[in-house]
Structure 1
Amino acid sequence: MISMTDGAKPLRVGVVGLGVMGKNHARVLDELPGVTLVGVADPDGVQVEFVTSRLGCAGFSTLDALMDAGIDALTIAAPTQLHTQIALQAIARGIHVLIEKPIAQTVEDGQRILDAASRAGLTLMVGHVERFNPAVQSIKQALAGEDILSIQITRVGPFPPRMSDIGVVIDLAVHDIDLIRWFTGSEIQDIQPQTNSIHAAREDIALLQFRTVSGVLAHINTNWLTPFKARTVHVATRNKYITGDLITRQVTECFDYKPDGSYSMRHLSVAYAEPLRAELVAFIDAVRTGKAPAVLGTDGLASLDIAMRCLGDRGQSAPKLAAAGE
């Protein structure tokens, strides 16, 4: 729930980048109490007209024009290669920012964003929206106090025509790298990646194996070769085996193992909520209260660093990242 004291002014927010995700950002922000969607910005006038005609907000062709309209916070849903430039411009104007994953195109650029936000004392949150999936949150709750042994995540589907400059590791696997860190509360230490390009210019299939500092073994299977979407999580602990379907949002827990091989099983409660709405509510609340956001800039940077290492292109490593969940 958004924190808002009596008489508080509505938070003035803008959206830059009007692809599929940016349009959804605008839709959700327009619905949130205590928030005024000041406007949206994109160089594509058709997309600007599409959004403004439906939401009644202002539309701009440039980021500067949007910021000149007076905004307190900005959500960045522009192409990844523009994240750094946009974020630094906004931070220089004293504007809080939420950046869609990945935080930047390189670890070095991501660190520049973190440093700028820290110096300015502004809220910086990274849009790892899968953390807000109710099925993922149900799994997280079931793992509380458990000794996690292994995590297996499958995230596959058909090739997305919108994709051109990145492959499955940055587009898809970075979600699950973040989830592994979040579930375990531990950094990823050992990486054994296998990638290949079958139909795309960049990698379109990846099998990634990890070991965390805490000793958890993890595996990510991701590709753009499967004709249907699948998003599943399997977690083994010393006492439980948890399976979750992130699309149907069904989570099952096996427990109470017996010497004869029998066990008990139950379906876990999963809330009904739109992940993006929960994410944006968390961002707005962090801006209002000044508390640490749900997904820190260091979280986004750590996940990008691991993804780049999987591709053999680490760039400049981030200096001493905070532990997951801190």
Structure 2
Amino acid sequence: MRRGDSPVRVGIVGLGNIGHHHAERLTDLGETLVGGVDVVEEARERFADEYGVPTFETFDELDDAGVDAVIVTTPNAYHEQYAVAALEAGADVFCEKPLADTLDSAERIADAARDADGFCMVGFNNRFLPAAEVLKESIDDGQLGDVTHVEANYVRRRGVPGRGGWFTTKDVSGGGALVDIGVHAIDLALHFLDFPEIVEVSGQTRSEFGTREDYTYLSMWGDDAEEVAFDVDDHATAFVRTADGRTLSLEVAWAANRPPNNDFVVEGTEGGATFDRNDNALTLHEVGDGGADHFRDTSVETRDEDAHALEQEYFFDAVRESEPVERNTVEQALSVQRVIDAIYRSAEAGHAIAL
């Protein structure tokens, strides 16, 4: 039983790079890493060697070892399998973004979370960046007036994460740039808008760079496989309307012939803001008439913080208290998944999709 300040007993399912990323942070936070699960023997051996914990081929073996919480970092197509199993076993679940590879799968995870004794939190770490926290507080305090539009950009000049791996294979990932990085942009924009009711989505996806033999880049997050398989999008543009007349515009790309951009522009009736996710930088835009009519742009400085660690700390505190999270909820992640699904359906149909 979890009590007081005792460490949370944590298991990780999916022992690739993202699993290691979480393992490092949870051990730094003083939680107890019980073990890990992966179907690939080499991944299990590497994880066991690095962290000195047992690793297993199945979730049941991890469950038998005794865990309070499970972190799911598998490829997207397997989120449902392990998140639902962990919830049904009574564990609290942290599931990396996106919630699932398809909307149907995401809805099944949400159903399992509603019926479970534990809870499910989803990995949208950008909300925990200090500048993003300041911006959200400024919005909630009314400093910007009524927020009417958010422009969300997550554009890389060249940033396809290794062609031929699971990121670029639709059956495993569920999609390309839109699912991988667009999900962050959509979540943060909806977060700034307080997750409004969405009534219409219009979108277009493209695949212009991933299959090119002359794909030129300076660095790559992953590695190209021997066979360059690529059946997903590398670029998406979308426009979202809400029931109360507010809007969201989205530009996402793994690769584009333009400068990279990871800005979020928030427009309100009394002020606005520009948040640069890459630099954790925030600028507030205001006008005034004191002394003379003027424009005022204020730069906000915050500490440099590890948003992943802050996100984990919030999750583990909730596990310790046996209280559901109020941030990064499974219902919010389901809203993000609905927008992603609607963008793909709109691109295929060639017209806007009503929700």
Q: State the TM-score, normalized to the length of structure 2.
A: 0.81
Counterpart residue number, 2:262: 231
CA contact (8 A) 2:118 2:324 kept: no
Counterpart residue number, 2:189: 180
**Corresponding residue SS for 2:256:** strand
Q: Give, in angstroms, the shift of residue 248 of structure 1.
A: 1.1
Gaps of 5+ in 1: 315-320, 322-326
**Corresponding residue SS for 2:294:** coil
CA contact (8 A) 1:138 1:269 kept: no
CA distance in 2, matches of 1:23, 1:183: 30
Q: Give, in angstroms, the shift of residue 49 of structure 1.
A: 3.0
Counterpart residue number, 1:131: 127
Say which is worse superposed, 52-61 or 138-147, in terms of deviation: 52-61
Q: Give, in angstroms, the shift of residue 63 of structure 1.
A: 2.2
Which one-letter code corresponds to 1:177 in the other structure? I
**Corresponding residue SS for 1:265:** strand
- Specify whether residues 18 and 229 from structure 1 end up closer, same or farther in structure 2 by C-alpha distance, changes over 3 A only: farther
**Corresponding residue SS for 1:103:** coil
Paired residue for 2:8, among 5, 8, 11? 11
Which one-letter code corresponds to 1:220 in the other structure? L
Say whether residues 1:48 and 2:44 are aligned partners. Answer: yes
**Corresponding residue SS for 1:90:** helix
Paired residue for 2:322, among 271, 290, 313? 290
Paired residue for 1:217, among 247, 272, 286? 247
- Work out the number of aligned pairs and report it: 310
**Corresponding residue SS for 1:277:** helix
Paired residue for 2:341, among 305, 308, 311? 308
Q: Give, in angstroms, the shift of residue 229 of structure 1.
A: 4.7
CA distance in 2, matches of 1:67, 1:112: 21
Say whether residues 1:169 and 2:178 are aligned partners. Answer: yes
CA distance in 1, matches of 2:277, 2:113: 32
CA distance in 2, matches of 1:20, 1:156: 22
CA distance in 2, matches of 1:283, 1:236: 31
Which one-letter code corresponds to 1:193 in the other structure? G
CA contact (8 A) 1:177 1:303 kept: yes
CA distance in 2, matches of 1:217, 1:118: 30
CA contact (8 A) 1:204 1:223 kept: yes
CA distance in 2, matches of 1:313, 1:193: 5
After superposition, the CA RMSD in angstroms is 2.3
Overall identity of the aligned pairs, in % = 29
Which one-letter code corresponds to 2:181 in the other structure? L
CA distance in 1, matches of 2:44, 2:139: 43
Say whether residues 1:66 and 2:62 are aligned partners. Answer: yes
CA distance in 1, matches of 2:192, 2:46: 39
Gaps of 5+ in 2: 211-230, 348-354
CA distance in 1, matches of 2:3, 2:244: 39
Q: Give, in angstroms, the shift of residue 18 of structure 1.
A: 1.9
Paired residue for 2:203, among 193, 202, 207? 193
Q: Give, in angstroms, the shift of residue 258 of structure 1.
A: 4.3
CA distance in 2, matches of 1:48, 1:310: 37
CA contact (8 A) 1:181 1:188 kept: no
Counterpart residue number, 1:160: 161
* CA deviation profile, 1:161-185 (whole Å, cap 9, x unmatched): 1422221221122212212221111
- Specify whether residues 226 and 199 from structure 1 end up closer, same or farther in structure 2 by C-alpha distance, changes over 3 A only: closer
CA distance in 2, matches of 1:230, 1:254: 19
CA contact (8 A) 2:203 2:346 kept: no
- Specify whether residues 210 and 261 from structure 1 end up closer, same or farther in structure 2 by C-alpha distance, changes over 3 A only: farther
Counterpart residue number, 1:111: 107
Which one-letter code corresponds to 1:123 in the other structure? F
Paired residue for 1:98, among 86, 94, 98? 94
The structure with more strand, counted as a fraction of residues: 1
* CA deviation profile, 1:189-214 (whole Å, cap 9, x unmatched): 22121222213322211111112223
Q: Give, in angstroms, the shift of residue 261 of structure 1.
A: 6.3
Q: Give, in angstroms, the shift of residue 78 of structure 1.
A: 0.3
Say whether residues 1:147 and 2:143 are aligned partners. Answer: no
Counterpart residue number, 2:298: 266
- Specify whether residues 171 and 306 from structure 1 end up closer, same or farther in structure 2 by C-alpha distance, changes over 3 A only: same
